[in-house]
C-alpha cells in the first residue's frame, strides 16, 4: 500500500471522529457546559491552578501525554505487520484512548482537579483509593527514572540535540514572562519563541556536546542526575513559569515536525511514483517475538490508549482548563493528534527506512532489504537505540526528499525526541508530587504535603531506582518489563472509575467506557499472566513479586468496583420501587 494513501485515510478518520463521536461524548454523555464552575477559576492560586487559553493548555497537555511513547511503541509494534499496528492505533485511539483521556479529564475537573486515584474514593470506596495510589506511584516512579535514561541515551546518540534542548529552558521562561507578566501578544510571542528554538537547533548541530565521564559516573548517570535536578525545579515552580510554556513551544515543534513528515510523505510518493509500505502487511510469527495477541496491545500504548494519560488528564491539565467545553479539544483532540503522530512513525519505519539504510559496515540498503536488516528479529528491533534509529533514519530520509540535509534532519529528530522525553519527565515529576501530597493529606501528614517536600520524595525515590544497579543510572530498566502491562492496567482501572461515574449519571451512558474497560482488562490481565509465567521460568523473583502484587491489587480493585456497580443498580431498583 502507498504510504500517502494510508496517511490520508487515517487523517480523514481522525477528523471525522472528532466532529462526530467526540462531539457526541461532549454534548450527550458528559454534557459539557460553558457556564459550569471549573477548578482553574474556583481554586486559582497562581502555582498549579491557573486559567489558561485553550491553545496553550492543548500544547501543554499534548506534549505531556505524547513524550516518546507514540515513537518507540509503533517502532517496535510494526514487527507484527503494519496493518494490525495501524488498525490498533486508529480505532484504539478513537474508541478507547481518546474516550479514556476525555473521561478522566472531565471527572477530575468536576472534582476540584484531583487525581484519578483520589477520585476513586468517591465513586468506588475509600479502600480502593490506596490501591490505586500504589499502582500510580509505581508507574510514575518507573516513568521518571526511565525517562532520565531515555534522554541520556538520546543525548549520547544525538549529541547535536544537547545544546538545543537545554536552551529551550530560558526560551520557555522568557515566553511565560512575556505572556503572563507583560501581557504580550500570544501569536507574536509564540513566533519569536519558536524561531529562537529553531535557531538553537541550528546552533546545536554545529556545537555537539558529549558528556564526559565524571569520576566513576558514566555519561548516562551524570545526565540522569542533571535531569532529576531540573525536574525538581520545574515541579516546584509555578506552572506558568517553565513547565507550561516549555510544553507549549515543544507542541509547536511537534506541529512543524509532523507537517514536515507529512509533506515528506506526499513529496516522496508523488515525485517517485509512490512510497510503498515495505514492512509486511501481517506477520504473526516474527523471529523471537511474543505472540501478537495480546502483546501488540501493550507494546503500542501511546497512540492507541495509555494509562499514563489519565495521570496527566487528572493532574496538571484539569487545573488549567478555563472552560468545560475546552475539555473536548484538549482531552479528546490531543489523543487523536497523538494517534496521527503514531501513524507517521509507522510510515517512517514501514516505508521511510526503505529509501536508504546504511548498515554498520557501510553497506547501503534499500527497499525490503533495508527494512528487514533492522527488523529481522525481535532482538534486533526491540532495543531503545534500535527503535530510535529506525524512526530517525526513516524521518530523515523523507525530509531529505524536501532538500533538508541528512545531518539537519537527524538533528531535528534528535531534539524532537529528547524534548518530548523532557516534557514527560517534568510533568511526571509534578504529577507524582500531586500524588504524594494527596496521600499525605489523607494520612494527616501535613509536613509531607507541601510542594517542596512532596517533590523531594518524588525525585529521591526515582533517583534511588535509577541508581539501584550502579552509577550509570539505568536501574529502572530492571523494572521496565513491568511497565507495559502496568501502564495498560492503569488505563483499565481509570476506565473503571469513569464507568462508575457515568453509571451514576444514567443507565446507558456508561457503555462508552464500560466496553473499552472490559476489553482492556481482558487483554492486560492476559498479558500480565503470560509475563508472570515468563518471569517464573527465568527465575526473576523481583519481577515475579512486584508484577504479582500489581496483578492482585488490580484484581482487588476490580472486585470492589463490581460491588459498587451492583450497589448503584440496587439503589436505582429501590428508588423505582418506591
Q: What is the pLDDT along the chain (578 residues), one digit of tens a residue?
A: 899 999 999 999 999 999 999 999 999 999 999 999 999 999 999 999 999 999 999 999 999 998 777 888 899 999 999 999 999 999 999 999 999 999 999 999 999 999 998 898 888 888 888 888 888 998 899 889 888 888 887 888 778 889 999 999 999 999 999 999 999 999 999 999 999 999 998 888 888 898 888 888 998 899 999 999 999 999 999 999 999 999 999 999 889 989 999 999 999 898 888 899 999 999 988 888 899 999 999 999 989 999 999 999 999 999 999 999 999 999 999 999 999 999 999 999 999 998 988 777 778 888 899 888 888 888 776 666 666 778 888 888 888 888 888 777 777 877 888 887 888 899 999 999 999 999 999 888 989 999 999 999 999 999 999 999 899 888 888 888 888 888 999 999 999 999 999 988 776 789 999 999 999 999 999 999 999 999 999 999 989 998 898 889 888 888 888 888 888 766 665 655 65
Q: CA–CA separation, 210 vs 155, rounded Å? A: 8
pLDDT of residue 477: 83
pLDDT of residue 578: 56
pLDDT of residue 575: 57
Tally helices (H) and strands (E) across the chain.
Answer: 25, 2
Count CA atoms within 13 Å of residue 283 on its CB side.
Answer: 21
pLDDT of residue 385: 62
Which class for 31: exposed (0-12), middle (13-18), buried (19 or more C-beta within 10 A)?
Answer: middle
Which class for 173: exposed (0-12), middle (13-18), buried (19 or more C-beta within 10 A)?
Answer: middle
Q: Which three cell numbers stand for residue 173?
A: 521562561
Q: CA–CA separation, 318 vs 54, rounded Å? A: 12
50, 240 in Cβ contact below 8 A?
yes
Phi then psi dihedrals of residue 360, to 5 deg = -65, -25
391, 344 in Cβ contact below 8 A?
no
Rounded (10°) angle between helices 186-206 and 406-442: 120
Indicate the helix (H) or strand (E) that contains 555.
helix 541-577
Q: Which three cell numbers stand for residue 535?
A: 518471569
Q: Which three cell numbers stand for residue 244?
A: 507550561
Q: CA–CA separation, 52 vs 68, rounded Å? A: 25
339, 105 in Cβ contact below 8 A?
no
Angle value at C-alpha 299, between 102 and 478, nearest 5 degrees = 110
Rounded (10°) angle between helices 541-577 and 511-537: 160
Domain segments of the chain: what residues?
A: 3-209+217-473
Q: CA–CA separation, 246 vs 256, rounded Å? A: 16
Amino acid at each position: 500500500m502507498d504510504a500517502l494513501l494510508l496517511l490520508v485515510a487515517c487523517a480523514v478518520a481522525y477528523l471525522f471522529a472528532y466532529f462526530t463521536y467526540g462531539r457526541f461524548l461532549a454534548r450527550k454523555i458528559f454534557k459539557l457546559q460553558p457556564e459550569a464552575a471549573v477548578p482553574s477559576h474556583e481554586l486559582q492560586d497562581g502555582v498549579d491552578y491557573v486559567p489558561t487559553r485553550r491553545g496553550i493548555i492543548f500544547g501543554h497537555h499534548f506534549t505531556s501525554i505524547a513524550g516518546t511513547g507514540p515513537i518507540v511503541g509503533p517502532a517496535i509494534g510494526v514487527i507484527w505487520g503494519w496493518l494490525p499496528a495501524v488498525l490498533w492505533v486508529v480505532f484504539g485511539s478513537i474508541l478507547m484512548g481518546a474516550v479514556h483521556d476525555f473521561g478522566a479529564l472531565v471527572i477530575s475537573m468536576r472534582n476540584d482537579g484531583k487525581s484519578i486515584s483520589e477520585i476513586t474514593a468517591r465513586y468506588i470506596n475509600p479502600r480502593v483509593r490506596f490501591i490505586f495510589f500504589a499502582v500510580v506511584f509505581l508507574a510514575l516512579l518507573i516513568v521518571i527514572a526511565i525517562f532520565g535514561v531515555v534522554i541520556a541515551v538520546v543525548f549520547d546518540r544525538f549529541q547535536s540535540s544537547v545544546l538545543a534542548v537545554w536552551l529551550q529552558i530560558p526560551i520557555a521562561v522568557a515566553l511565560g514572562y512575556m505572556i503572563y507578566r507583560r501581557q504580550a501578544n500570544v501569536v507574536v510571542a509564540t513566533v519569536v519563541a519558536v524561531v529562537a528554538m529553531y535557531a538553537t537547533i541550528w546552533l546545536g548541530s554545529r556545537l555537539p556536546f558529549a558528556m564526559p565521564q565524571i569520576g566513576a559516573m558514566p555519561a548516562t548517570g551524570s545526565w540522569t542526575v542533571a535531569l532529576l535536578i531540573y525536574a525538581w525545579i520545574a515541579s516546584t515552580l509555578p506552572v506558568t513559569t517553565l513547565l507550561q510554556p516549555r510544553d507549549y513551544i515543544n507542541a509547536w515543534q511537534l506541529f512543524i515536525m509532523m507537517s514536515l513528515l507529512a509533506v515528506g510523505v506526499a513529496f516522496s510518493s508523488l515525485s517517485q511514483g509512490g512510497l510503498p509500505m515495505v514492512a509486511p502487511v501481517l506477520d504473526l510469527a516474527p523471529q523471537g517475538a511474543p505472540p501478537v495477541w495480546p502483546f501488540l496491545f501493550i507494546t503500542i500504548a501511546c497512540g492507541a490508549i495509555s494509562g499514563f494519560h489519565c495521570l496527566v488528564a487528572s493532574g496538571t491539565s484539569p487545573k488549567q482548563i478555563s472552560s468545560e467545553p475546552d475539555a473536548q479539544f484538549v482531552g479528546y483532540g490531543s489523543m487523536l493528534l497523538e494517534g496521527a503522530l503514531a501513524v507517521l512513525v509507522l510510515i517512517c519505519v514501514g516505508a521511510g527506512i526503505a529509501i536508504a539504510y546504511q548498515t554498520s559496515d557501510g553497506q547501503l540498503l534499500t527497499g525490503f532489504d533495508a527494512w528487514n536488516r533492522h527488523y529481522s528479529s525481535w532482538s534486533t528491533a526491540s532495543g531503545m537505540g534500535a527503535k530510535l534509529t529506525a524512526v530517525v533514519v526513516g524521518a530523515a530520509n523523507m525530509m531529505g526528499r524536501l532538500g533538508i540535509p541528512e545531518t539537519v534532519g537527524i538533528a531535528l529528530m534528535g531534539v524532537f525526541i529528547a524534548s518530548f522525553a523532557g516534557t514527560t519527565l517534568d510533568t511526571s515529576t509534578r504529577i507524582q508530587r500531586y500524588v504524594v501530597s494527596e496521600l499525605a493529606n489523607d494520612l494527616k501528614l501535613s509536613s509531607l504535603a507541601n510542594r517542596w517536600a512532596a517533590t523531594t520524595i518524588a525525585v529521591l525515590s526515582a533517583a534511588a531506582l535509577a541508581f539501584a544497579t550502579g552509577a550509570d543510572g539505568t536501574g529502572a530498566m530492571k523494572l521496565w518489563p513491568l511497565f507495559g502491562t502496568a501502564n495498560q492496567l492503569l488505563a483499565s482501572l481509570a476506565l473503571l472509575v469513569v464507568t462508575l461515574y457515568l453509571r451514576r449519571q444514567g443507565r446507558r451512558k456508561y457503555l462508552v467506557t464500560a466496553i473499552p474497560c472490559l476489553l482492556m482488562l481482558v487483554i492486560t490481565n492476559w498479558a500480565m499472566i503470560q509475563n508472570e509465567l515468563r518471569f517464573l521460568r527465568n527465575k526473576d523473583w523481583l519481577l515475579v513479586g512486584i508484577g504479582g502484587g500489581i496483578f492482585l491489587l488490580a484484581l482487588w480493585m476490580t472486585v470492589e468496583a463490581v460491588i459498587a456497580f451492583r450497589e448503584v443498580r440496587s439503589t436505582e431498583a429501590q428508588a423505582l420501587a418506591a
